[in-house]
Amino acid sequence: MNASQTVALTDRNPRVAPDELIAGLVPPPHFENVSFDSYRPDPAQPSQADARDTLRDFVTAKPKQGMLAKLFGGGEKKGATKGVYLDGGYGVGKTHLLASAWHAHDKPATFGTFVEYTSLIGALGFQKAREQLSQMKLVCIDEFELDDPGDTVMMSRLMRELTDAGVKIVATSNTLPGALGQGRFAAQDFLREIQALADQFSVQRIDGDDYRHRGAPTPPEALTSAELDELAANAEGIVARDRFGELLDHLSTVHPSRYGRMLGDVDAVLWDDVETIENEGVALRFVALVDRMYDRGVDIHNSGARLDAVFTDDMLAGGYKKKYLRCLSRLTALAGREEK
């Protein structure tokens, strides 16, 4: 372990060159050594083993080759799978399986969150991003959620063009592809695009309980400021300490696709004066930060409110309910310093 060093995330605003974006689309540290064999399905939930076996078969199947295959749709039967969509609640191992697919498949392949792919398109432009991704044998998309009509149209088109180019696609989400966008924008106005997106996938449902909360239903109680001071003084490795409100303000100046790089080599975060987030845009940026922290196994310690109070009741009942519940699950795991 490194000698103790305290930094502030509010001092960090990393920049990423466009040509680094594709190279950075790999599984995060938390999933760099996972495999289908290391996935442990719940015996009480047979859909978990089914999902693992279906996905393993999908990524190890060899595509048909040749001009006739291209002219006549690859010689595949009508309804053949172009991609696999893992649908299930948070904490059932979807990202583990997604990363396992990336590790098991021939390269080149990419692995990234939905926001990382939309950021790639923003940085390179649609045509260039499509050209780059069309060179991949597999594209893995985690946390696939459509939060606005522009993303719906853009990602629907990209998925169609990638599958037409013979690229295999695996995606995970908490929402069935035909229901993406519901409760967030006027999804009925974009039914054609949403249905075209859904048509790219066969859906594999994964049932089960959140493994992170087996025996740990709530995060620990908040600490005092003096206790945070003591933790900072005695910590090993790199610790980032920030006032919670200032950190939330800072997140608005950093694109969510760069939150992982902002965390860098941080081992733990200390947040002073945690409070309930009242603004939905701020809350969604915080969710993206927690996702990247979870990827890296960053421990959390805080004063102020307990971490399960960061979202309002209206948020937990609204269109982004599943995002917020997943975030609370991950906050609990990180604050409890579980090994999962």
pLDDT in tens, the chain (340 residues): 445 789 999 999 998 887 788 988 999 888 999 999 999 998 989 999 999 999 999 998 765 554 444 444 444 444 456 788 888 776 788 999 999 999 999 999 999 988 888 888 888 899 999 999 999 999 999 887 655 566 767 877 888 899 889 999 998 876 554 554 444 434 444 445 556 666 767 888 888 765 554 444 588 999 999 999 999 998 889 999 999 999 999 999 998 888 989 999 999 999 999 999 999 999 999 999 998 999 899 999 999 999 999 999 999 988 788 788 889 988 999 998 643 3
Mind listing the domains of the chain with CATH numbers?
Answer: 5-15+215-335 (3.40.50), 33-209 (3.40.50.300)
What pLDDT is recorded for position 211?
57
- Say which amino acid occupies 38: S
| Alpha-carbon distances of 157 from 132, 148, 163, 192, rounded to whole Å | 15, 15, 10, 11
Report which DSSP code applies to 78. Answer: T
**Model pTM?**
0.74
Identify each DSSP E strand in 89-201 by its residue range. 109-113, 138-142, 168-173
Contact indicator for 126, 154 with CB cutoff of 8 Å: yes
Count helices and strands in the chain by DSSP H and E runs: 14, 9
Name the token pair of 95. Answer: 């990202």
